[in-house]
Amino acid sequence: MNYEAVIGLEIHVELKTESKIFCGCRAAFGAEPNTHVCPVCLGLPGTLPVLNRRAVEYAIMAALALNCEITPYCKFDRKNYFYPDLPKNYQISQFDLPLARNGYLEIDTPSGPKRVGIVRLHLEEDAGKLVHVQYGDSSYALVDYNRAGVPLIEIVSAPDLRSPEEARAYAEKLRQIMLYLGISDCKMEEGSLRVDANVSVRPAGSDILGVKTEIKNVNSFRSLARALTYEIERHIACLERGEEIVQETRAWDEERGITFSMRSKEEAHDYRYFPEPDLPPLVIDAEWVESLRKALPELPDAKRRRFIEEYGLPENAATVLTATPEVADYFEETLKFYPQPRQVANWVMGELARCLNAAGIPITASPVKPQALAQLLKLIDAGTISGKIAKDVFEEMFATGKDAESIVKEKGLTQITDEEVIRQVVREVIAANPKVVADYKGGKEKALSFLVGQVMKATRGRANPGLVNQLLKEELSRE
């Protein structure tokens, strides 16, 4: 029997506010444990939460970017459950009246664009963090409440995804949009973007949903795809054996490449939701929403289309250059000093990306700034250095932070364009390689490339390549 997977994602995004959602404690990641806590975020008796306006603004921005309807009247609720990292034993979240609903996100698939529905987007507070420790034969857990009360949005997709690849594309696209909005750093390794995946399978063509399982807190896109692939195969194997799928929450073991059962799946009634009595309902003014809509930055799809239309870039280049707002900004900043989009695109995607990857740093930390890259490209155009030498100069710029002109001057890398100087080297190379010369004259065109390489090697790459080719052919025709 052929089966079809049905996948929906719940993505939690930590908002990049200065303070927590209901108190003034700092929301920054990485502080000493339990140093960003107060009676409010610990839920001590007698304290009252006060809603962070910036968190609501960020949530509205996210909802607008995801084509959601903003609910003019929403409220907060208490979601009751008991975990050591939840100091109040309840989480302030939203239940029946979320901030936004009925949105969508378009992803690219092999069969074309696909629209994935977004059921709801709501605000809530994050829980604390457990740190598991092994000491001798004993193991125990420490609790860090710094994260308790950091603002989150939870974005719940419709079960419109049909494969692990689609799920990954959706999650990556959503992260990209959050980064463009500047409302979250979306660092999965720090937990500021976390993915829960709901998955079931059914006979292909059926409209009846199968029993779903939830894979909790997957912390990379690669793991998301692997975990879903495993879980889909596990469901199918169970059905083929005539076994029932148990609705439950499962965890992903990256090393073993398997999911395993954590607990039975909770339903909404298990959380005993009730309206948060310490916070008034949230009334969202339409003018406020419109002002935020007008202030939205250019989003990735629009920017990619503009790069294609305005700069004449091929789609794959435009996609790479708009992958993050930082890369797009670097590209456009370089164009201010050197308005040649194709050349700049090649260098940003080529040498710069290679050096950044090798160094393991983001483009914002690049030692080669846009103006410096533009200066290097101008030296190539002026014939001061060859394209090959330019790559060596770029590496030196990246390693030292020096500008291109200084490096060219210090190392004597100026391109040799003197015809007589190059002709002399050409003659020496021809004399030293009689067999290759014979091959060329016998019709082996590739032999010429070898001779060009020898001339470039003899001149340490400084000879003008076009002139080298021209003079080699001239001299060989005289032999």
| CATH number, domain 419-478 | 1.10.10.410
Whether the pLDDT of residue 103 is over 90: the answer is: yes
Highest mean pLDDT, choosing among 84-88, 159-163, 427-431: 159-163
Residue 222: predicted pLDDT: 96
**pLDDT class of 268 with cuts at 50, 70, 90:** low
pLDDT tens digits along 371-423: 999 999 999 998 888 888 899 999 999 999 999 999 988 888 888 888 888 99
Share of the chain above pLDDT 90, in %: 78
Stretch among 26-35, 260-269, 458-467 having the lowest mean pLDDT? 260-269
Residue 380: predicted pLDDT: 93
**pLDDT class of 42 with cuts at 50, 70, 90:** very high
Whether the pLDDT of residue 162 is over 90: the answer is: yes
CB 199 within 8 Å of CB 228 = yes
Residue 459: predicted pLDDT: 86
Angle between helical axes of 370-381 and 325-337 (0-180°, round to 10): 50
The position carrying tokens 């690219």 is 108
Residue 444: predicted pLDDT: 87
pLDDT tens digits along 432-460: 998 998 888 888 888 888 999 999 888 88
Helix (H, G, I), strand (E, B) or coil at 459: coil
Residue 158: predicted pLDDT: 98
**pLDDT class of 92 with cuts at 50, 70, 90:** very high
Whether the pLDDT of residue 254 is over 80: the answer is: yes
* Token output for 431: 């004399």
**CA pair distance 347, 374, nearest whole angstrom:** 10
Strand 112-125 versus strand 77-80 pairing type: unpaired
| Position 283, amino acid | V
Query: 284-293 in b/e burial notation, b at 16+ Cβ within 10 A?
Result: beeeebeebe
The CA–CA distances, whole Å, from 360 to 319, 354, 355, 367 equal 21, 10, 8, 13
Residue 175: predicted pLDDT: 97
Share of the chain above pLDDT 70, in %: 99
Domain ranges of the chain: 3-288, 298-411, 419-478
Query: Over the chain, what is the mean pLDDT?
Result: 94
Whether the pLDDT of residue 266 is over 70: the answer is: no
Residue 358: predicted pLDDT: 96
pLDDT tens digits along 301-335: 999 999 999 999 999 999 999 999 999 999 999 99
Give the residue ranges of DSSP H helices in 107-263. Answer: 164-181, 221-240
Going by the DSSP 8-state scheme, the letter that residue 116 receives in this structure is E
Determine the average pLDDT of the residues in 215-229: 94
Whether the pLDDT of residue 265 is over 70: the answer is: no
Stretch among 60-69, 339-348, 403-412 having the lowest mean pLDDT? 403-412
Measured in degrees and rounded to the nearest 5, phi and psi for residue 147 equal: -80, -15
Q: How many residues does the chain have?
A: 479
The CA–CA distances, whole Å, from 64 to 74, 141, 151, 323, 342 equal 16, 40, 18, 20, 33
Residues 6+ away with beta carbon under 8 Å from 383: 415, 417, 464
**CA pair distance 312, 421, nearest whole angstrom:** 40
Residue 418: predicted pLDDT: 85
Helix (H, G, I), strand (E, B) or coil at 75: coil
CB 211 within 8 Å of CB 247 = yes
pLDDT tens digits along 273-304: 999 999 999 999 999 999 999 999 999 999 99
What's the pTM? Answer: 0.87
Determine the average pLDDT of the residues in 189-204: 94
